[in-house]
Structure 1
Amino acid sequence: MGIFAPRAAAASSTRPEARAAELTQTQLAALPPEFEAVGEALASGSGALAEAYAVLGHRLAAEGISLDEALSGLDTTFRTVVGTAPTFDDTRAVSVAWGESILGYLHRLSCEDPVTGLATMAHLQSRLAELYRAEAAAGPVAESHALVVLDVGPPAAGEAIGALVLTEDLQVARAAEAIRTAFAGQETICRLATHRLTVLAPRDERLGRRVALLRRLLTGTEPAPARVWIEGLPTTGEAAAATLSELARL
């Protein structure tokens, strides 16, 4: 999520085993998701590993990937590209970048997202809990409300590693403006994940028109049109929390 604030971690940038070559298609296919930039830096010996680790730690933490999964992906990447396990310095660099992102998130858990100004997931969870607690008087939440989900997708391929996070944040900021325009009332609008926003909106006769307006506002956005859909809410607050967690990971 944009609330993470990673700092570039120190990492070895010169290694004798790095090959001044591009990754083969077979190697690319074997790399775990999100590890392509690290693999390319290893294969080319470009000296961009420190920057690649900082971006990688940010992205994996933002997408809810555990540290164990992150280090497993790093090991797979090294063995695929250079045929050896990662060094202590490489493992430490990814761990530090991931940890700093998580700490930044925890420190600002109750605040708004600094990139978009939207509510955090914690605030949306609190708002949903209030609605479910009031069901006895107000009626079933699954019938009165729904989530409108907006996914802007990842940045365009081919950008420099250091520009990826900035580009993604700019795309999400533009999407946030559009979603505020379409849902200009008292709805709770939240940044769920790195490139995903959601609105807790009343399930009324205006919902379809608002979603249609949002899609029109997003027409022609780069790098590709954003995806917008209505996600129904389950019958219990516990299931709703699980739904949010799943949407934040996808």
Structure 2
Amino acid sequence: MFREKHAPNASTDAMHGQVLPLRMAGLWAAWTEDGDIDEAVWDAGSVYALDGESLQVLLDDVDMTRTACRLPPPDVDLVRALALAWSEAALSRYVRLTCTDPLTGLATAQHLQTQVVGLVHTRTSDAWALVVVEVASKMSLLGAAPVPPVMLELINLSDVADLMARELSADVTAARLTSRRCAALVPQAEASGLATRMDRRIGNRAGENRIWIERLPDEPAQAAALIDELSR
């Protein structure tokens, strides 16, 4: 009865001869087995958005499923709930794609810059600081094949990103600035402690690793320039 959206014809609904999208299975169950319709609607809207499907595709599949269930067209409240679930998940997906560095899982430099400039605009920048970590740049050999320096830097930076993530709370932003450098935006009172802990973890791995603290400027243009400079 259910199939993947782009799969060839599979088994069909015995009553209506329709092949339903697999992602509608939750809604089908809610409508036919008196399940939690609110949860099913939210799950369906979220899944379609996270899969990159349009709202139109979602609504078309809902119509198809309701028809198979012998139900009337969806009412306004159901469509609104679907649209809200889809839009929130779509926004989350967009933020993840545009604000997250795919190599390290850290935020992008642009996202960090936006946050820093925002703190300056709200005149709260003096309560925050950047803890900057720069990893060693060295050649390495894997068997007989040399690893290009930039690749080794990214590998090292990914390790540092993992270590930094363990030291930070979920609401703190850490960003990749270059292939060798990342930074965490933390409360000023916590900056020294984080820098010390990171130094204990990576400071002695190689003599070229560096860790330092940057205070945030008072002007938005200077704050943006600071991130630009650190990203070179």
TM-score category, normalised to shorter length: 0.5 to 0.7
Q: Do the aligned partners of 1:112 and 1:118 also contact (CA within 8 Å) in 2?
A: yes
Q: Distance in 1 between matches of 2:97 and 2:136?
A: 24
**Is the counterpart of residue 241 in structure 1 residue 224 in structure 2?**
yes
Partner of 2:132: 149
Amino acid at match of 2:213: I
Q: Distance in 2 between matches of 1:170 and 1:239?
A: 31
Match of 2:157 among 154, 161, 172: 172
Q: Distance in 2 between matches of 1:115 and 1:201?
A: 22
Cα distance, 1:210 vs structure 2? 1.9
Q: Secondary structure at the match of 1:193?
A: coil
**Is the counterpart of residue 116 in structure 1 residue 116 in structure 2?**
no
Cα distance, 1:114 vs structure 2? 1.4
Q: Secondary structure at the match of 2:157?
A: helix
Q: Secondary structure at the match of 2:131?
A: strand
Match of 1:218 among 179, 196, 202: 202
Runs of 5+ unmatched residues, structure 1: 1-107
Q: Distance in 2 between matches of 1:224 and 1:157?
A: 15
- Map 1:78-93 to 2 at 5 A: none
Cα distance, 1:225 vs structure 2? 5.2
Partner of 2:193: 209
Q: Distance in 1 between matches of 2:122 and 2:102?
A: 31
Deviations 1:135-194 (A, max 9, x none): 2xxxx41x2111111000312377855543332221011111121122234211000111
TM-score (norm 2): 0.52
Q: Distance in 1 between matches of 2:207 and 2:131?
A: 19
Deviations 1:56-77 (A, max 9, x none): xxxxxxxxxxxxxxxxxxxxxx
Q: Do the aligned partners of 2:174 and 2:185 also contact (CA within 8 Å) in 1?
A: yes
Q: Do the aligned partners of 1:151 and 1:228 also contact (CA within 8 Å) in 2?
A: yes
Partner of 2:47: none
Q: Do the aligned partners of 2:129 and 2:213 also contact (CA within 8 Å) in 1?
A: yes
Which portions of structure 1, spanning 4 or more consecutive aligned residues, are displaced by more than 6 angstroms?
Answer: none
Q: Do the aligned partners of 1:148 and 1:229 also contact (CA within 8 Å) in 2?
A: yes
RMSD: 2.4
Cα distance, 1:129 vs structure 2? 2.5
Q: Do the aligned partners of 2:136 and 2:180 also contact (CA within 8 Å) in 1?
A: yes
Q: Distance in 2 between matches of 1:227 and 1:126?
A: 25
Cα distance, 1:120 vs structure 2? 0.2
Cα distance, 1:200 vs structure 2? 0.9
Match of 1:196 among 162, 166, 181: 181
Q: Secondary structure at the match of 2:154?
A: helix
Going from structure 1 to structure 2, the CA distance change for 1:168 and 1:183 (only over 3 Å counts) comes to same
Going from structure 1 to structure 2, the CA distance change for 1:162 and 1:209 (only over 3 Å counts) comes to closer
Corresponding residue pairs, total: 135
Say which one has the larger Rg. Answer: 2
Runs of 5+ unmatched residues, structure 2: 1-95
Cα distance, 1:216 vs structure 2? 0.9
Q: Distance in 2 between matches of 1:109 and 1:242?
A: 24
Q: Distance in 2 between matches of 1:167 and 1:146?
A: 28
